[in-house]
Amino acid sequence: MIVAVDGPAASGKGTIAKALARHYSLPHMDTGLLYRAVALNLLRRDGDPESEFSALRACDFSQIDFADPELKSEAAGGIASRISAYPMVRQALVERQRAFAHQAGGAVLDGRDIGSVIAPEADAKLFVTARPEIRARRRYEELNGMGLAVHYEDVLADIQARDDRDSSRATAPLAMAEDAVLLDTSDMDVAQAVAQAIAAVERRVGPGVGKAG
């Protein structure tokens, strides 16, 4: 079973995807971390994020620890949003994502184009969103919890700029797949959002399908 979870930054899609992966005992991939890893490589190598060829050369994960907290930094996130518009970078990462999705038993992937580009044949698709102010508050609290000094107004401005870039880029823009279920988490806590997500998946695949135990 393949489950695609898409949505804008800080919508809660990652939390929901991880919970679905636990619920159904499926492997999970946060595809945004791949782009953040490329961005971090660029930062550490003093590469030029305005150069598609420089970004392509940074598609090397041999020295990347995916548990590195720097991957969650606003600097890495901002550059990731910019370089994700490059067709050559996206192509370099597409096959890795598709192979993960189509492994035996399936998987849960979250990102911005899983249901539309990476796995359009997914058994269930969710599009998770929330109001920009809510998403900015969540990201602000997450970053503060990691000990990073940030200002809410800056986080909100970054969220809004990222939304604009992701939605208007020519290659694989952020868009809800026609057969995806919309889940607005603005007024939900984590437990409510996860419960709604599981219910949405079960409406597509049937209750208990793929569930652990």
- Does residue 194 fall inside a structural domain? yes
* Statement: the pTM of the whole predicted model exceeds 0.85: yes
Number of structural domains in the chain: 1
- Does residue 212 fall inside a structural domain? no
Cα–Cα nearest to 158, from 83, 79, 78: 78
- Does residue 70 fall inside a structural domain? yes
- 6-53 per-position pLDDT tens digit: 999 899 999 999 999 999 999 999 999 999 999 999 999 999 999 999
The residue that leads in pLDDT, 24 or 72, is 24
- Does residue 115 fall inside a structural domain? yes
Query: Are 83 and 41 a contacting pair, CB within 8 Å?
Result: no
CATH number of the domain where residue 114 is located: 3.40.50.300
- Does residue 210 fall inside a structural domain? no
- Does residue 97 fall inside a structural domain? yes
Dmax (CA) of the chain:
50
Residues 6+ apart with CB under 8 A from 70: 40, 76
Per-residue model confidence (pLDDT) at position 213: 40
The tokens describing 39, both together, are: 């961005």
Give the domain extent around 57.
Answer: 2-205
- Does residue 213 fall inside a structural domain? no
